[in-house]
């Protein structure tokens, strides 16, 4: 049964409902973001080039949370300078080129697609 609201309290009731809705959306997105970040790191560890294995094991995440905002998840490799060289290839010292080994972009595209679907679902399902 629908809740009856006095017209004088309508604006407050709408604000309360929107606040609850937005909190639910933020919570669902935070949960998805955390899970998808972990999945991306697992994929990168599997798909990264493995000469010694140190590079593949160096994938990490950093989480930054500010009050009232969504958490920001950053995926990085402790050997940061190496990611660009491996992903895009590079010139050799004595001439020629080292072939690129694309491993970041495929993982990125996959998790972005998955994250967008989950955000859309969070928006549709919140408050219901």
In a domain, residue 47? The reply is: yes
Instruction: In whole angstroms, give the CA distance from residue 92 to residue 79.
Output: 19
| 91 within 8 A of 28, measured Cβ to Cβ | no
In a domain, residue 41? The reply is: yes
In a domain, residue 104? The reply is: yes
Identify the three-state secondary structure at position 90.
Answer: strand
Domain that holds residue 72: 7-125
Q: What per-residue confidence (pLDDT) applies to 86? A: 94
Question: Is the four-CA dihedral 17, 20, 24, 25 of positive or negative sign?
Answer: positive
Q: Which of 123, 127, 124, 118 is nearest to 34 (CA)?
A: 118
In a domain, residue 18? The reply is: yes
In a domain, residue 2? The reply is: no
Q: What per-residue confidence (pLDDT) applies to 99? A: 95
Instruction: In whole angstroms, give the CA distance from residue 56 to residue 36.
Output: 18
Q: What is the pTM of this model?
A: 0.79
> Within 10 A of 79 (CB to CB), how many other CB atoms are there?
14
As given in the structure block, the two tokens for residue 57 are 């094991």
Domain count along the chain: 1
Q: What per-residue confidence (pLDDT) applies to 92? A: 92
Q: What per-residue confidence (pLDDT) applies to 42? A: 96
In a domain, residue 1? The reply is: no
In a domain, residue 64? The reply is: yes
Instruction: In whole angstroms, give the CA distance from residue 18 to residue 20.
Output: 5
In a domain, residue 11? The reply is: yes
**pLDDT-flagged residues of the chain (< 50):** none
Q: What per-residue confidence (pLDDT) applies to 3? A: 72
């Amino acid at each position: 049964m629908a809740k009856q609201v006095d017209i004088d309290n309508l604006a407050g009731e709408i604000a309360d409902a929107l606040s609850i809705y937005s909190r639910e959306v933020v919570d669902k997105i935070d949960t998805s973001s955390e899970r998808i970040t972990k999945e991306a790191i697992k994929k990168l560890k599997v798909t990264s080039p493995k000469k010694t294995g140190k590079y593949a094991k160096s994938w990490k995440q950093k989480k930054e949370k500010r009050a009232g905002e969504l958490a920001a998840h950053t995926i990085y490799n402790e050997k940061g300078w190496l990611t660009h060289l491996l992903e895009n290839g590079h010139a050799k010292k004595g001439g020629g080129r080292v072939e690129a080994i694309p491993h970041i972009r495929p993982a990125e595209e996959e998790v972005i697609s998955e994250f967008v679907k989950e955000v859309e679902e969070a928006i549709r399902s919140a408050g219901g």
